[in-house]
A and B are shown apart, each in its own frame.
Chain A
Amino acid sequence: MEYLSPEGLRLDGRRPMEMRQLRAEIGVVPKADGSAVFEMGNTKVIAAVYGPREVENKTHQMNDQALVRCEYSMANFSTGDRTRKPKGDRRSTEISLVIRQTMEACIITHLLPRSQIDIFVQVLQADGGTRSACINAATLALSDAGIPMHDLVTSCSAGYLKSTPFLDLNYVEDSAGGPDVTVGFLPKLDKVTLLQMDSKLPIGILEEVMLLAIEGCKAVAGYIREVLLENTKQLEYRRGG
């Protein structure tokens, strides 16, 4: 399969350093305290935040900070072949943990002691980069819920095929067997909060690929900021401001 054509185009017509089209919408689940849909190309996820609310299981309650919980699940129809178990399998458990740790580091938990914040992420369509889309959706949902955060967390993935760094891999490129580096980034603070990689990569190339992923994160942050600003303008307009 020709991941990079002689003209320098990828399978879906993008350039190696080009991200997929982003689309986000806030407030899609009215019952939740905060919610958002985030699309990166064909990958589509919904995030809903319930909280801060009373802790359900008093044994887990923390007196000096909020308890952050996260659940990742994939819809039956999200992948090409129907998955039988939407949640509870090892991959979902691992991704739930990853998202929880990433968001927890970013939420100012000591402002909300003895409370619980639930983040639920549901994948509707999976086409590579679901982890990143989930983190981006969770950031938007937490903002919609008004939960205090140190910074926006954005995430993007990058790979290395045909001796070229590729930004924002889709499912086909991810299945090519090359490395897949996922980065979670705090744009204002300029810090990396999540770094994961699978497959193998020469150490000298890692920096280049990681920096490319960080550039992707910054682009996502710019888009998220636009969406939040537009949302705030709408709220102000509806309030008669």
Chain B
Amino acid sequence: MVGLSIGEKLFIQSGIAQDLRCDGRRRLTYRPLYVETGVIPQANGSARVRMGETDVIATVKAELGKPSPSQPDKGKVFIHVDCSSTAAPMFEGRGGEEFSSELSVALQRCLLGSNSGAGAGIDRASLCIAEGKICWDLYVDGLVVGSDGNVLDALGAAIKAALSNTGLPRVHVTVAAPDGEQPEVDVSDEEFLQFDTSGIPVIVTLTKVGRHYIVDATTEEESQMSSAISISINKKGHICGLTKRGGTGLDPSVILDMISVAKYVGEQFMNRLDSEIAAAEASEAE
């Protein structure tokens, strides 16, 4: 990105202070959201989300695996994000690794809960087929194709859409096996179970510029931030994860205020996202 002059920086900061951003939006307004599902047919589920020039693709691939011994009644979910060089020249070679790791970890924290699996946004118990023996392993891959700020929120939305689009084949255990042995299974080619995504949270990132917070920041606006908080919120309004970025310290009361703003914004975004996903699935079915 080309550097910003002092005049441009002041323009961005004052605009935000006056509730009129560079592209005409208000502080808590999102950019137009476009969702397409089923973009990668060979994956079990996939989606592409565009917010302005930020363009991300998420895919879900399901494979049969063995549950981990500490959690025999839950399936496993792995989230990994890659930043494509097409998004920015600085992602070439290993340049995008740091940002990709940051995104992967933030998504895992927001969607998968703790190591013990408690409090996960994605219901891993529904992935179990035979307790202790067979479960589904979901590999969620994100690819950042275009980057213009707010990539984390876009990825969260894309993962939610991709999971809505995911159909897991129905698995019948044909031969029950004694302890220590793998049972035989029959994986159906026709019957598919739609993954239940009603409990999956959306991620809302609030970026603090000066004394105000904005939602859905562009790269230019992010360059002027003092700090940012990403909060994942589910349909019930519960917080499923929280990440603070940026070095500047925040007063605790400010954080609490940002959380309540995020809850309000998150509810509207979730409704909009759900209707976009439904529309995308409907047009894909045609």
Contacts and interface: CB of A to CB of B under 8 A. Distances in A.
Given A31-B146, A31-B147, A75-B141, A125 B40 contact: yes
Interface string B37-77: 00011110010000001010101010000000000000000
A122 B84 contact: yes
Contact of B41 (A30, A42, A50, A73): A42
A99 to B, nearest CB: 13
Interface in B62-110: 80, 82, 84-89, 92-94
5 contacts: A29-B86, A31-B53, A35-B86, A71-B92, A77-B143
Nearest to A56: B89
B40 A124 contact: yes
A125 B148 CA distance: 24
B71 to A, nearest CB: 22
Contacts of A121: 86
Interface in A168-225: none
Given A29-B146, A77-B143, A88-B94, 16 more contacts: A29-B55, A30-B53, A30-B146, A31-B53, A46-B84, A48-B87, A50-B89, A76-B143, A77-B61, A82-B141, A87-B93, A118-B89, A120-B86, A122-B85, A124-B40, A125-B40
Contacts of A71: 85, 92-93
Contacts of A87: 93
A31 B93 contact: no
A46 B86 contact: yes
A31 B43 contact: no
A192 B88 CA distance: 32
Nearest to A46: B86
Contacts of A50: 89
Interface residues of B, number: 28
Interface in B3-31: none
Nearest to A79: B42
B171 interface: no
A121 B85 CA distance: 8
Contacts of A80: 42
B278 interface: no
Most A Cβ at <10 Å: residue of B61, B86, B139, B143: B86
B82 A86 contact: yes
Contacts of A120: 84-86, 89, 92
Contacts of A62: none
Interface string A72-99: 0101110010100011100000000000
A105 B145 CA distance: 27
A30 B87 CA distance: 9
A227 interface: no
Nearest 6 pairs of A and B residues by beta carbon: A48-B86, A120-B85, A77-B59, A76-B141, A122-B84, A30-B53
B86 A32 contact: yes
A32 B1 CA distance: 11
Contacts of B147: 31
Contacts of A86: 82
Contacts of A76: 59, 80, 82, 139, 141, 143
B85 A77 contact: no
A88 B145 contact: no
Contacts of B84: 46, 73, 75, 120, 122
B148 A31 contact: yes
A77 B46 contact: yes
B59 A31 contact: no
A47 interface: yes
Contact of A75 (B41, B82, B94, B148): B82
A77 B141 contact: yes
Contacts of B57: 75, 124
A122 B141 contact: no
B145 A125 contact: no
Given A76-B82, A86-B82, A120-B92, A31 B87 contact: yes
Contact of A47 (B86, B139, B143): B86
Interface string A53-71: 0000000000000000101
Given A29-B145, A77-B43, A82 B85 contact: no
Nearest to B88: A31
